[in-house]
Structure 1
Amino acid sequence: MTGEREIEAVEQWFRRRGLPAVVRGRPAQLLVRTAPAVVFIAAWQVLTAVLSAVDGETDADFDRLMESDLFALGYGGLLLGLVVVPALGSWLTARWVRRKLVGRGGTGSAVIVATVFVVVVPALDRIVAGNSIPLGLVTQLAVLTGLFAAAFVGVGSIVGWALRAAFRQLRLLGELTSRVLPLLLLFTVFGFFTTEIWQVGAALPRGRMWLIVGLFAVVAVVFLLAVLKAEVTTLTQSHTAPVGLDKLRETPLAPLLTDGVHAERLPLTKLERANMILVLVLTQVLQTLVLATVMFVFFVVFGIIAVQHSVIKAWVGRDPASGTLFGIQLPIPQELLHVSLFIAAFSGLYFAASTVTDAKYRNAFFDPLADHLAVSLVARDLYLARLPGAPRRAEPAAEH
Structure 2
Amino acid sequence: MSQVERWFVRQGLPTLRLDDGRRDTLARMAPVLAFVGVTGLLERPLQNMVIVLYCVAAAGAFALRYWIGVTRRSVAVRWTRFASVCLYWASAIGMVEFSGPEVTVSAVGSVVILGTFFPVAYLATAYGLVPLAGRALLHVVRDVRDSVQLQARSLPLLLFLTLFFFFTGELWQLADRLSWWRESVVIGIFATVTVCASAARLREEIQQIEQRLSIPEMLSACRGTPLEGALDECAAAVPLTRRQSFNLLLLLAGRQLTQAAVVGVGMFLFFVSIGLVLIDPATMQQWIGSPPNPSNLIPVLPVALLRVSLLLAGFASMYFAISTMTDPHYRKEFFPPVIRELERALAVRAAYLTLMGRGGRSATGHARQAGS
Instruction: State the TM-score, normalizing by the size of structure 1.
Output: 0.63
Sort the Cα spacing of 1:309 and 1:99 in 2 relative to 1 into closer, same or farther, 3 A: farther
The whole-number CA distance in structure 2 between the counterparts of 1:140 and 1:301 is 42
**1:230-241 matches, cutoff 5 A:** 230-237=204-211, 241=215
* Among candidates 286, 306, 316, match of residue 288 of structure 2: 316
Cα RMSD (Å) of the superposition? 4.2
The whole-number CA distance in structure 2 between the counterparts of 1:181 and 1:359 is 17
Deviation readout 1:252-274 (Å, 9 max, x if unpaired): 1125223xx23232232232223
Q: Return 5+ residue gaps in structure 1 as ranges.
A: 39-94, 120-131, 393-400
* Among candidates 280, 298, 307, match of residue 252 of structure 2: 280
Shift of 1:200: 2.3
Deviation readout 1:50-108 (Å, 9 max, x if unpaired): xxxxxxxxxxxxxxxxxxxxxxxxxxxxxxxxxxxxxxxxxxxxx9999666546xx9x
- The reply on whether 1:352 has 2:325 as its aligned counterpart is no
Contact 1:14–1:22 at 8 Å: present in 2 too? yes
Shift of 1:20: 1.4
Shift of 1:379: 1.5
**1:171-210 matches, cutoff 5 A:** 171-210=145-184
Shift of 1:367: 1.3
The whole-number CA distance in structure 2 between the counterparts of 1:97 and 1:284 is 33
Shift of 1:288: 1.5
The whole-number CA distance in structure 1 between the counterparts of 2:328 and 2:107 is 55
| 2:350 alignment counterpart | 381
The whole-number CA distance in structure 2 between the counterparts of 1:389 and 1:162 is 34
Deviation readout 1:367-389 (Å, 9 max, x if unpaired): 12222322222221221221354
Q: Return 5+ residue gaps in structure 2 as ranges.
A: 37-61, 72-79, 93-104, 364-372
Moved over 6 A (4+): 95-101
| 1:88 alignment counterpart | none
The whole-number CA distance in structure 1 between the counterparts of 2:246 and 2:325 is 19
The whole-number CA distance in structure 2 between the counterparts of 1:349 and 1:207 is 19
Sort the Cα spacing of 1:219 and 1:29 in 2 relative to 1 into closer, same or farther, 3 A: closer
Contact 1:22–1:380 at 8 Å: present in 2 too? yes
| 1:12 alignment counterpart | 6
The whole-number CA distance in structure 1 between the counterparts of 2:270 and 2:107 is 42
Sort the Cα spacing of 1:254 and 1:213 in 2 relative to 1 into closer, same or farther, 3 A: closer
* Among candidates 238, 245, 265, match of residue 237 of structure 2: 265
- The reply on whether 1:369 has 2:338 as its aligned counterpart is yes
How many residues matched?
A: 310
| 2:28 alignment counterpart | 29
- The reply on whether 1:298 has 2:267 as its aligned counterpart is no
Contact 1:163–1:283 at 8 Å: present in 2 too? no
The whole-number CA distance in structure 2 between the counterparts of 1:294 and 1:237 is 37
The whole-number CA distance in structure 1 between the counterparts of 2:260 and 2:123 is 24
1:285 maps to a residue whose letter is L
- More deviation, 343-352/244-253: 244-253
Deviation readout 1:198-255 (Å, 9 max, x if unpaired): 1222234445444543443444333332223311122235675221413423321125
- Percent identity over the alignment? 34
Shift of 1:284: 1.0
